Chain A
Amino acid sequence: MNAIFRFLGAAAALCAAGLCQAQTTLTVAAFPSVDKIVKSAIPAWKKLHPDVDIKVVAREFADHHNAMITSLATGTGLPDVMAVELGFLGRFAEARTLDDLNQPPYLAAQYHKRFVAFTIGQATNQAGELAALPTDIGPGTLFYRDDILKKAGLAEADLTRSWESYVEAGKKIKAATGAYLLANATDIQRIVIRTGLKEGEGVFFDKNNKVLVESPRFVRSFEMARAVREAKLDAKIGAWSNEWSEGFKRGTVATQMMGAWLGGHLQNWLAPGTRGLWRAANLPAGSYGSWGGTFYAIPKKGANKALAWEFIKFMTLNKDNQLAGFKAEDAFPALIEAQNDAFYDEPVPFFGGQKVRLLWRDAVPRIPALDVAKHDAVAEEVISTELDKVLDQNKDIATALADARALIERRSRR
């Protein structure tokens, strides 16, 4: 009996001395490959905050965002820190269920200048609240097969001078090598509508929610897509399909316009056998754009907000963590000072020794900020369907755009 009491007393004393310190757990919800970036940053985090564990709840891309939608709807099961991709950020930010990071105690306004300019705009909703901080971006670039280009007797400038020269180059490539210029004519349409925007315009809607789909850039985008399709320059395959990756492996697709992160995919699994044959260039006709981007947010009904904010600052404002994400998972840093490093000057073997990272870094400041609207997804679908009719059934472009405007107006009234 006495021995038991003595033992219990000793245990209590040890606990009091701090060996049984209360461990806080911070829950971070993420998707591939953001989850890998978070997990690899945990050792560094533990050095700063030894008493805070990080629990990473990783789900596939679609599942993660659906889980976040239901958690935000019901207010339960929310993580402390939420990773959000650009495509979903608009609706989460407009829903106003994420904390405004400009307000106290976060006061993120002091950090705005440290991030690439257009990302702050993407994370700000119509009420002016900053719903999330950016962690990585996808600077748009044109990947092309140098060997195919040379066989057709062309140079990079022929591809990038203007959209017309891009299409002409495509015809020469088809004649000389039989390879398609690009995977799908819809790709060119999607890029052209994102260039030449006036101040205060979004892609489909302007500041007053007026539908912009009959403007010249839309007409031109449809005309370019039709020109590509009529010259049989596109392989008519969807991105991320088996045929698409097969097209890269066999060299039947000569160019692809996408975010810089596609380089990592090409190297790892899409076409590892084509090492050294690819090059990267800026998008044709002096266009600049970005594909995707990841952000971190704090839900209004989340817990551990102070620690969550520390974690977000740790991942987004820390140069070493941003660079680590870039080196390991091709996550191009959104933090400007993380773009100053010897790593960018290295020649990249997959691109035949080209210093692609410098190219992308120089493109980043020129990417325009695009306003995100609530009904962008619907407008995207309407335009995509009308484009299908124009390409597949020869529908007149002006009629197609007028129908698109009517349909978008009807749907966006809700």
Chain B
Amino acid sequence: MTSLPHSHAAGALRLPTTQRRWGRPWQTWQAWKWAPYVFISPFFILFLVFGLFPLLFSMWLSFQSGSISAGLASLEFVGWENYAFALGDEWLWKSLYNTLWLGLVSGAPQHLVAIPLAAFIHTGFTRWRNLVLGAYFLPYITSTVAIALIFTTLLSTDFGVINQGLQQLARIPVLGAWLPQEPLNWMGRAETIKPAVAMVVFWRYVGFNTVLYLAAMQTIPKDLYEAATMDGATPLQQFRHITLPLLRPMMVMGVTLSVIGGLQLFEEPFILTGGRGGTNQSAMTTAMYMFRTAFEFNEWGTASAISWLLFLCIALLTWLTGRAFARGGMES
């Protein structure tokens, strides 16, 4: 008979002899050893089911080919063929170009506008600060689909408010010459779809970045500004030499988030173009192309390969972003 485990139990807790009547199972169930695992298991179970399994399944699927409706067993292993096909696919490269264009044109203004805006709110408002900040933050917490649907109506060629506004502005004598005289077919022409989508994405995320930068600005000690004022520095010089350098950590985080979010952009272009990507697929981002490859063209293996190629792009660009900021820090 093996030795009973209760002799190794933590000193304070000893099993009373009366309970030995129930036998070994009672004594091997030591709550203090199993409880921690039970408490952290919900997270791990959910992560395994909804996080890890889809990742691994997608990886497995990217090496298979065939029609998924015929059953998983009917798929055949094709090695790197899906990746080779995707790399030679002109639509994938077009979608990557679209994604990078949209990411840059919507992402750069987000930060270039958010930093001065945060500085303005930081110094300009005291009583109304939270209200103003909340107003800018509101688009971020509103449902993407609702925003995109409203903008579809606003961007309508013949009935949209944006075009009507532009028409009114075009009547102004000098300024009007710079504006388009005819209603712009925002969602119909390839040249205007990208700016339209970028505009919606910018409007949505500028408030989020403002909140981030404002939070960072509030951690900068006020005596730095006081010392600079006493030395005769103008507000602009203070902004350039105190605020900006000290915002660097937040900039790193903000830009990284924008890079990742921009490369994964899906909802706004999807709703605005009705799921097709627009004229000549101008607004079809890589995430949208992957979605269409799976659900419209029924090529799940290729779609999985595209998703992993996109992951490589995101990883690469995130690493480059980190290096760009780190190098800048060492130089200064």
Interface residues of A (CB under 8 A from B): 62, 66, 68-69, 72-75, 91-92, 94-97, 235-238, 240-243, 246, 252, 374-375, 377-378, 381, 384-385, 388-389, 392-393, 407, 411, 414
Contacts and interface: CB of A to CB of B under 8 A. Distances in A.
Given A243-B158, A392-B190, A73 B68 contact: yes
13 contacts: A68-B69, A72-B70, A91-B67, A91-B69, A96-B70, A97-B69, A97-B70, A240-B274, A378-B297, A385-B280, A385-B281, A388-B190, A392-B190
B188 interface: yes
A242 B274 CA distance: 11
Interface in B252-301: 274, 276, 279-281, 292, 295-299
A388 B280 contact: yes
A96 B66 CA distance: 12
B298 A91 contact: yes
A92 B280 contact: no
A92 B153 contact: no
Interface string B55-88: 0000000000101111110100000000001000
A237 B153 CA distance: 12
A377 B296 contact: yes
B171 interface: no
Contact of B72 (A68, A73, A388): A73
Counting contact residues on chain B (CB < 8 A from A), the size range is 20 to 34
B71 A97 contact: yes
Contact of B274 (A97, A238, A246): A238
A95 B70 contact: yes
B279 A237 contact: no
Nearest to B296: A377
B71 A73 contact: yes
Contacts of B158: 235, 243, 252
A153 B111 CA distance: 58
A75 B72 CA distance: 9
Interface string B143-161: 0000000001100111100
Interface in B201-240: none
B159 A243 contact: yes
Contacts of B299: 414
- By secondary structure, the A interface counts as helix
Contacts of A389: 280
Contact of B157 (A62, A236, A393): A236
A230 to B, nearest CB: 15
A241 B68 CA distance: 31
Contacts of A74: 71-72
A402 B33 CA distance: 71
B90 interface: yes
Nearest to B72: A73
Contacts of A377: 296-298
A335 B68 CA distance: 32
B295 A66 contact: yes
Nearest to B281: A385
Contacts of A392: 189-190, 279-280
B243 to A, nearest CB: 44
B185 interface: yes
B133 to A, nearest CB: 32
Contacts of B67: 91, 94-95, 374
Contacts of A411: 297
Contacts of B296: 377, 381
Given A97-B71, A242-B153, A236 B188 contact: yes
Contact of A69 (B69, B85, B152): B69
A6 to B, nearest CB: 40
Nearest to A66: B295
A287 B48 CA distance: 55
A237 B189 CA distance: 11
A75 B157 contact: no
The CB with the most chain A CB atoms within 10 A, among B156, B158, B187, B292, is that of B158
B70 A243 contact: no
Contacts of A384: 276
Contact of A241 (B72, B152, B295): B152
Contacts of A97: 69-71
A383 B68 CA distance: 25
Nearest to B75: A73
Contacts of A238: 187, 274, 276
A238 B159 CA distance: 14
A8 B276 CA distance: 65
A203 B224 CA distance: 73
Contacts of A243: 156-159
A238 B187 CA distance: 10
B71 A75 contact: yes
Given A69-B68, A73-B72, A246 B159 contact: yes
Contact of B69 (A92, A236, A385, A388): A92
